[in-house]
Amino acid sequence: MKYRLGNVHQIVDLIIRNYLKKGSICVDATLGNGKDSLKIYKTLDGDCKIYSFDIQDQAIIKSKKLFAENKINEYKIKIINDSHENIYNYIHEPVDFFIMNLGYLPGGNKDITTNYKSVKIFLDKITLIMKAKSFGLIIFYPGHEKGMEEYIEISKYLSDLDQNKFNVSKIEQMNQKNQPPLVVMVERL
């Protein structure tokens, strides 16, 4: 088998490499250290536009450094220091893909995490501007208290998405202990 699926990042990789198309308009709702945006950019050989959001200055600084080290065309990844709730202030075109890697900034302040209220607002908005056959990935971390609350709340939201418009699938590593991360794929029909 080409891929091992031992952790959530490998699963995300597998999906991105197989489904994401060149020329895609992408949204990284939680830029963090910039690794997801970089992965998307590299997978598409830079043939894409990515709107990348984060509320923390530390995340913005780290990502800018990572992108500079990797010689990223700065017009291809638009870094936005604002909450993903406000996507309509920045995105005025239909999107092909979004990723939302929830939780706290790796190596940062663990008290600053995503919260389900802004995630719901983001989802309300992004689902209205997703192109036909577009998709999004949400990575949940139910292993910590806030992450579990977020997972429960957003699961209810996703379960209620109209099945005539969206497929919502969950990938769960069932035999792993201690609430491993989960990936949910939201596909626009």
* Chain residues in the site for ligand SAM (CB under 6 A): 30-36, 53-56, 59, 83-84, 101, 103, 105-106, 112, 114, 118
Q: Least separation, in Å, of the C-beta of 164 and ligand SAM?
A: 29
Query: Residue 6: what residue type?
Result: G
Q: How far is residue 72's CA from residue 83's CA, in Å, rounded to a whole number?
A: 23
Cα–Cα distance, 60 to 179 (Å, whole number): 29
User: Is the Cα torsion angle 150, 49, 34, 182 positive or negative in sign?
Assistant: positive
Rounded distance between C-alpha atoms, residue 177 and residue 122, angstroms: 30
Q: How far apart are CA 71 and CA 68, in angstroms?
A: 5
Specify the residue, 70 or 133, whose C-beta has the smaller distance to ligand SAM: 70
CB of 66 to ligand SAM, least distance (A): 9
Q: Is the Cβ of residue 94 or residue 106 nearer to ligand SAM in the bound state?
A: 106
Between 43 and 83, name the residue whose CB sits nearer to ligand SAM. 83
Q: Which residue is nearest to ligand SAM (CB)?
A: 32
Task: Give whichever of 118 and 173 is closer to ligand SAM, judged by the CB atom.
Answer: 118
